[in-house]
Amino acid sequence: MQHTPIESIPNLPAQLRHYTAGRRLYDSSSSPEARVYALSGGTRENARPDLFLKTAASGTLAHEARMDDTFHMLGIGPEVLEYLPGSES
pTM: 0.81
| Any domain includes 50 | yes
Average per-residue pLDDT for the chain: 87
Q: Has residue 1 got a pLDDT over 50? A: yes
| Any domain includes 48 | yes
**N-terminal to C-terminal alpha carbon distance within the chain:** 22
Q: Which domain holds residue 26?
A: 4-55
| Any domain includes 71 | no
- pLDDT tens digits, one per residue of 23-55: 999 999 998 889 999 999 877 776 778 899 998
| Any domain includes 11 | yes
Number of domains within the chain: 1
- pLDDT for position 2: 76
Q: Residue 39: name the closest of 59, 16, 60 by CA.
A: 16
| Any domain includes 61 | no
| Any domain includes 42 | yes
Indicate if the alpha-carbon torsion angle 18, 3, 11, 53 is positive or negative.
negative
| Any domain includes 26 | yes
